[in-house]
C-alpha cells in the first residue's frame, strides 16, 4: 500500500524529498518506487518492476547538498513481472560532476547471487547497486557535487529488457501448446 501511494504521489507531480536531495520527479510507467530508506547523505531507491518500461528520476540539489560535497547511492531493482531481467542500462545526465562506481550484484531466479557475468545463466530477478543491505566488503556508489550550485539538477535513467527464454523453455512452451491443440482437435472430432 505504501509503495502504491508513493507511486501515485510521484505520478501526480508532488515533490518527494529524498531527505536532503530532493526527488523532483519520477517517471515510473506503472512501476513502484520506495524512497523511505534515503537519508540526508544517501539516495536509496527500491524499485519494483511490474513491466519493462523505462524509468527516469530527476533530482534537485540544495545548498546543504553542495556543502556536503556529495551523497552515496544504492538501489534495489526487483523484477515483479515474472519475466526476469535480460539486460539493464543505467545512465546519469545533467549537472553531475562525478560518479564513482561501487558494488553491483544480481540475484537469479535460481537463487544464485552473482558479482560478475550477470547474464551467464538463469534470468536475473533482482539487481543490487551499492550496499543496500549494509553487508561487509560492499560499497555504495558515490555522487559528487563539487563545482555545482544549489538548484542544479541531475537525472538517473534506467532501462531494462525482459529475459529471453532458454531453448529448453521454448521447447516446453511449444510442447504445452501442442498438447492444447491436440486436446482441442480431439474434442472437435467427437
Distance CA 104, CA 81 (A): 21
Contact assessment for residue 88 and residue 126, using Cβ atoms and an 8 Å cutoff: no
Residues 71-82 pLDDT 10s: 999 999 999 888
> Under DSSP, is residue 174 helix (H, G, I), strand (E, B) or coil?
helix
- Which pLDDT belongs to residue 29? 95
Is residue 145 in a domain? yes
In this structure, is residue 22 part of a structural domain?
Answer: yes
Domain ranges, residue 156 = 2-164
Does residue 71 lie in a domain region? yes
How far apart CA 23 and CA 17 sit, in angstroms, is 5
The domain tally of the chain equals 1
- Within 8 A by CB and 6+ apart from 30, the residues are 50, 51, 53
Would you say residue 182 lies in a domain?
Answer: no
pTM for this model (two decimals): 0.72
Residue 10 lies in a domain: yes
Model confidence over 57-69: pLDDT tens digits?
A: 999 999 998 899 8
SS3 10: helix
What per-residue confidence (pLDDT) applies to 32? 95
What pLDDT, on a 0 to 100 scale, did the predictor assign at position 91? 86
* Rounded mean pLDDT, 137-141: 92
C-alpha cell at 159: 532501462
- Asked if residues 41 and 17 have their Cβ atoms less than 8 Å apart, the reply is no
Q: Is residue 172 part of a domain?
A: no
The most confident of 6-10, 106-110, 138-142, by mean pLDDT: 138-142
Amino acid at each position: 500500500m505504501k509503495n502504491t501511494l508513493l507511486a501515485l504521489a510521484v505520478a501526480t507531480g508532488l515533490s518527494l524529498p529524498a531527505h536532503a536531495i530532493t526527488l523532483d520527479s519520477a517517471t515510473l510507467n506503472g512501476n513502484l518506487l520506495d524512497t523511505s530508506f534515503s537519508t540526508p547523505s544517501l539516495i536509496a531507491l527500491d524499485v519494483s518492476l511490474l513491466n519493462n518500461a523505462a524509468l527516469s528520476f530527476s533530482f534537485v540539489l540544495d545548498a546543504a547538498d553542495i556543502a556536503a560535497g556529495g551523497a552515496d547511492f544504492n538501489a534495489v531493482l526487483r523484477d515483479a513481472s515474472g519475466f526476469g531481467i535480460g539486460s539493464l542500462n543505467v545512465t546519469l545526465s545533467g549537472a553531475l560532476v562525478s560518479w564513482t562506481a561501487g558494488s553491483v550484484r544480481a540475484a537469479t531466479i535460481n537463487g544464485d547471487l552473482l558479482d560478475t557475468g550477470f547474464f551467464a545463466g538463469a534470468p536475473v530477478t533482482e539487481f543490487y547497486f551499492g550496499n543496500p543491505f549494509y553487508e561487509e566488503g560492499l560499497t555504495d556508489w558515490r555522487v559528487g557535487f563539487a563545482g555545482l550550485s544549489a538548484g542544479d539538477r541531475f537525472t538517473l535513467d534506467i532501462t531494462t529488457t525482459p529475459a529471453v527464454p532458454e531453448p529448453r523453455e521454448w521447447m516446453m512452451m511449444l510442447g504445452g501448446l501442442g498438447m492444447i491443440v491436440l486436446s482441442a482437435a480431439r474434442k472437435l472430432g467427437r
